[in-house]
Structure 1
Amino acid sequence: MTIPENQLDIWANPGSQAKYKDAHESIRKAIAAYSWPSGKPNYEIYLQGSYKNSTTTRSNSDVDVVIQLNSTFREDLSKLSQPEKDAYNKDHSNATYLWDNFRSDIFSALNNKNGFTVNQGNKCIKVKTPYLDADVVVCMQYRLYEKYSNSVHEKYIEGMTFKSNEGWVVNYPKQHDKNGTLKSNNTNGNYYSAIRIFKNIKSKLIDNNLIGKSEAPSYFIECLLYNIPNSKFESCYGNTVYNVLSYLNQSDISNFKCQNGVTDLFGDSSDQWSTGKAQKFINSAIKFWNDWK
């Protein structure tokens, strides 16, 4: 027996958004109230993860907030010709206010807020707000340059980067959100519903000891489903789950891209998935689907 439609319908719907919004706004207010010791830098605050992408489930317990420094950025010039690199280096000088300074200031701003409990994490600052826990990613802008002649005539893909214990991490959350929204629109919203269903399936697989807690992060599951053709996402949730699992079972997933469309989903870096863990998730999901009682 497969999972009934009424159960899938429950899983397809997001949990309440109210506490996510309150936690996010409280962090914004804490940063806005901060007295910057060296003058206020150019930065922006935005959301990433399930709350931003409308893929929260009832089991979600935190909100992901990005605080991005824009007055300082890191660049990737690997796609430029040598004359373009020379022109870039002529136009740009080293910054004086660095990511480390920015992260220190953000930590102080959050730590000064009454009602917050703040701790340093590896990839983010862990904040307990009166509403929900938050993972605050402090980063700076990252630019993957595609063309450059001068600062007026330049083309780059904007990402973000921050330092962890494993080194510099690069991601493209704005591209991730843009591509996810487009795919959701092109599937009449069924893409995001499917992500919520598969995140709930993941939780059940963990509860049943079929996979480990760290083997199938929600971000990777979302990227996995991004590579599924739009036609596989139907208004009937049962058909969608069957279509997705069938497609994954018959596909070579090794060349799948992340939802940002820039980076590879699978690889050896700390911010990539292994094909072995992905295949274990797929096989376990198929078994869970077929053995539902």
Structure 2
Amino acid sequence: MARDWESVFTTWSQGPSATEQERAENAERQIRQAILSSEKLRNRDIRVFTQGSYRNRVNVRRDSDVDVGVVCFDTYFPEYPDDNVKLELAKSFVPAIYEYSTFKSELEEALVARFGRGAVNRGAKAFDVKANSYRVESDVCAFFEHRRYLSVGRYHSGVEMIPDDYNPPSIKNWPEQHYDNGVSKNNLTQRRYKRVVRILKNLSNEMAASGVESAKKAPSFLVECLVFNAPNASFNYGSYEPMVREVLANLFNSTISDEACDEWGEVNELKYLFRGSQPWTRQSAHAFLSDAWDYIGYK
């Protein structure tokens, strides 16, 4: 008997429950309280925010933990478009006296004081804070502001971390731009964009559990970015099965070669999707899209 994909997709399209969202918000709130309780951190210019799939409301059941960013604006990491801008800005620079390594260690102290040593594990990139009945498990990342200068007075504001193992040497993210662009795309597609993201993330998880290698190599972030690059017209259907078909067909055809997708960006639109040191390739994304098409049984 053929599988009722419309029914499956309808279930998969649903956003997080109120209880899930509340537990994620509780985790963020408690981490903020940990900062406020720290004598070393409470007076610094720090912002605590939920990032990733929970904040963008594209989390699915496998996304069991919430990503929480803790960014300090007292120091920033600069990136320059050219040496002229760098030299001009250097005239007004003051050397940083607060280092990233110090900030991360002070954040660890604050988390341990709040949750206990047994509930906090320091990883190379994030602190793992264990869940309880009140909050979900959290990956807490320490950031300094990252400024990508466009000119002397203009820059994009993101966040940057230095992993303990320097692998890679640094990681830059653009959470605000990602959030804003996702909301805009969702509004332009009658709130269908994020529903299709959830559908394809659930599909990828099921394919991976069934042993499909391409799905195992397709991170949920990549799936979200692929759907973001589908034309808005692909979402103009009243039911999910033809909508998913149209999105997959468009993405499949556009990733056959480099030319059609070379300019694609992540949802933040400040980083190319298939260039640089991404942990995936255009070929691996194309393989996943092809296998997803076959897995559903589209002809």
Please confirm whether the aligned pair reaches a TM-score higher than 0.5, indicating the same fold: yes
Whether the 8 Å CA contact 1:69–1:141 is kept in 2: the answer is yes
Shift of 1:146: 0.6
Matched AA of 1:281? F
Tell me the equivalent position of 2:70: 67
Shift of 1:2: 6.6
Q: What is the CA–CA distance in structure 2 between the aligned matches of 1:111 and 1:14, rounded to whole Å?
A: 32
Tell me the equivalent position of 2:283: 276
Whether the 8 Å CA contact 2:70–2:142 is kept in 1: the answer is yes
Whether the 8 Å CA contact 1:142–1:170 is kept in 2: the answer is yes
Q: What is the CA–CA distance in structure 2 between the aligned matches of 1:249 and 1:289, rounded to whole Å?
A: 14
Tell me the equivalent position of 1:94: 95
Q: What is the CA–CA distance in structure 2 between the aligned matches of 1:276 and 1:246, rounded to whole Å?
A: 15
Tell me the equivalent position of 2:50: 47
Residues 95-134 of structure 1 show CA distances to partners (whole Å, capped at 9, x for unaligned) of 0001111111111111111467111112211111322111
Q: How does 1:1-293 map to 2 (within 5 A)?
A: 1=2, 4-16=5-17, 17-36=21-40, 40-77=43-80, 79-80=81-82, 82=84, 84-114=85-115, 117-130=119-132, 131-148=135-152, 154-164=153-163, 165=165, 166=167, 167-211=169-213, 215-234=217-236, 235-252=238-255, 253-269=261-277, 271-290=278-297
Highest RCO, 1 vs 2 (Cα 8 Å, sep ≥ 6)? 1
Tell me the equivalent position of 1:151: none
TM-score, scaled to structure 2: 0.88
Unaligned runs of 5+ in 1: 149-153
Q: What is the CA–CA distance in structure 2 between the aligned matches of 1:213 and 1:4, rounded to whole Å?
A: 18
Matched AA of 1:107? E
Identity %: 28
Kindly report the root-mean-square deviation, in angstroms, between the aligned alpha carbons of the 2 structures: 2.0
CA pair 212-290 structure 1, distance change in 2 beyond 3 A: closer
CA pair 212-280 structure 1, distance change in 2 beyond 3 A: closer
CA pair 114-248 structure 1, distance change in 2 beyond 3 A: closer
CA pair 195-279 structure 1, distance change in 2 beyond 3 A: same
Q: What secondary structure sits across from 1:199 in the alignment? A: helix
Whether the 8 Å CA contact 1:54–1:192 is kept in 2: the answer is yes
Whether the 8 Å CA contact 2:214–2:287 is kept in 1: the answer is no
Q: What secondary structure sits across from 2:251 in the alignment? A: helix
CA pair 163-53 structure 1, distance change in 2 beyond 3 A: same
Q: What is the CA–CA distance in structure 2 between the aligned matches of 1:69 and 1:56, rounded to whole Å?
A: 26
Q: What secondary structure sits across from 1:161 in the alignment? A: strand
Unaligned runs of 5+ in 2: 256-260
Residues 214-246 of structure 1 show CA distances to partners (whole Å, capped at 9, x for unaligned) of 511111111111111111113421122001111
Q: Which has the higher strand share?
A: 1
Shift of 1:57: 1.6
Shift of 1:59: 3.0
Whether the 8 Å CA contact 1:195–1:221 is kept in 2: the answer is yes
Residues 122-151 of structure 1 show CA distances to partners (whole Å, capped at 9, x for unaligned) of 221111132211111111100111111xxx
